[in-house]
Amino acid sequence: MTSVRDQSPWMTDETRIFQKTVRQFIETELAPHHARWAEQGHPDAEAWIKAGKMGLLLPDVPEEHGGGGGTFAHEAIIIEELSRSGVHFGFSIQSIVAHYILACGSERAEAPLASAHGLRRTCRRGRVDGAQLRL
């Protein structure tokens, strides 16, 4: 049992539910394929689609820019759970790029974010092609 002192101050009932969902997704959808992905050098495109449908891509980016509209707590949970599992997936790099564009980009630069890293939105709909994955 985890003591209150060991819990992050940003954990709420909602983020605990999100954490459970993320952990389950990693265990069922990512971990079983991790060795093969390491050998081929990248995860399968289908994994990104499933992650998008689960709302795990850009969870703390505002919804109007293609993100989940959550807080950094949501991003931290994903990073924490991936680290705990030992699965290397690449979630973080798309978040880093998205935040740079949001902080430093113009509206013109943010528009592709909402559509390309609306990869998240696109993934939720289950339609991703190679060109979108390279953006």
Check whether 122 has a pLDDT greater than 90: no
Q: What is the mean pLDDT of residues 129-135?
A: 43
| pLDDT at site 111 | 58
Provide CB contacts within 8 A for 122, sequence distance 6+: 52, 115, 128, 132
* CB contact at 8 A, 22 and 78: yes
pLDDT in tens, 63-77: 888 888 999 999 999
Q: Which stretch of 22-36, 55-69, 102-116 has the lowest confidence by average pLDDT?
A: 102-116
Burial 43-82 (b: 16+ CB within 10 A, else e): beeebbbbbbebbbbbbbbeeebbbbebeebbbbbbeebb
> What is the percent of the chain with per-residue pLDDT over 90, rounded to a whole number?
41
The 3 state secondary structure assigned to 32-52 is HHHHHHHHHCCCCHHHHHHHH
Cα atoms in the Cβ-side hemisphere of radius 13 Å centred on 94: 28
Check whether 89 has a pLDDT greater than 90: no
Residue type at position 110: E
- Kindly list the structural domains of the chain, giving each domain's residue range(s) and its CATH number in brackets, ordered by start: 12-134 (1.10.540.10)
Q: What is the mean pLDDT of residues 10-38?
A: 94
> What is the percent of the chain with per-residue pLDDT over 70, rounded to a whole number?
73
Residue scoring higher pLDDT (4 or 41): 41
Tell me the whole-structure pTM to 2 decimals. Answer: 0.74
Burial 120-131 (b: 16+ CB within 10 A, else e): bbbbbeeebeee
| pLDDT at site 1 | 52
Check whether 55 has a pLDDT greater than 70: yes
| pLDDT at site 103 | 81
